[in-house]
Amino acid sequence: MQSVEGEKEASAARQAKLALDIANKTLPLFRHVNSDSLRQVCEIIRRDITADAVAITNTEHGAGLRGRR
């Protein structure tokens, strides 16, 4: 049981570090939000989480979109 709990804690710590790393990289880009800065945010997130694509949208249209080419 201790092993399972230890792994859960380690996993949570890795996820928290990843989230903080992404926040540190992207926060400056949110100071002057435009379509280019949002595309950069999507690319940082996509790369850091190794996703195929990331999108930032609102209720009307996609503001930022990055995917693998």
pLDDT 10s digits, 39-63? 999 999 999 999 999 988 877 766 6
- The yes-or-no verdict on residue 15 having pLDDT over 60 is yes
Q: How many domains is the chain partitioned into structurally?
A: 1
pTM confidence score: 0.78
Decide: 65 and 51 in contact? Cβ < 8 Å: no
Q: What is the mean pLDDT of residues 3-27?
A: 95
Residue 12: both structure tokens together: 């949570």
Rg of the chain over all Cα atoms, to the nearest angstrom = 15
Domain containing 41 equals 2-67
Decide: 54 and 42 in contact? Cβ < 8 Å: yes
Q: What is the mean pLDDT of residues 13-39?
A: 96
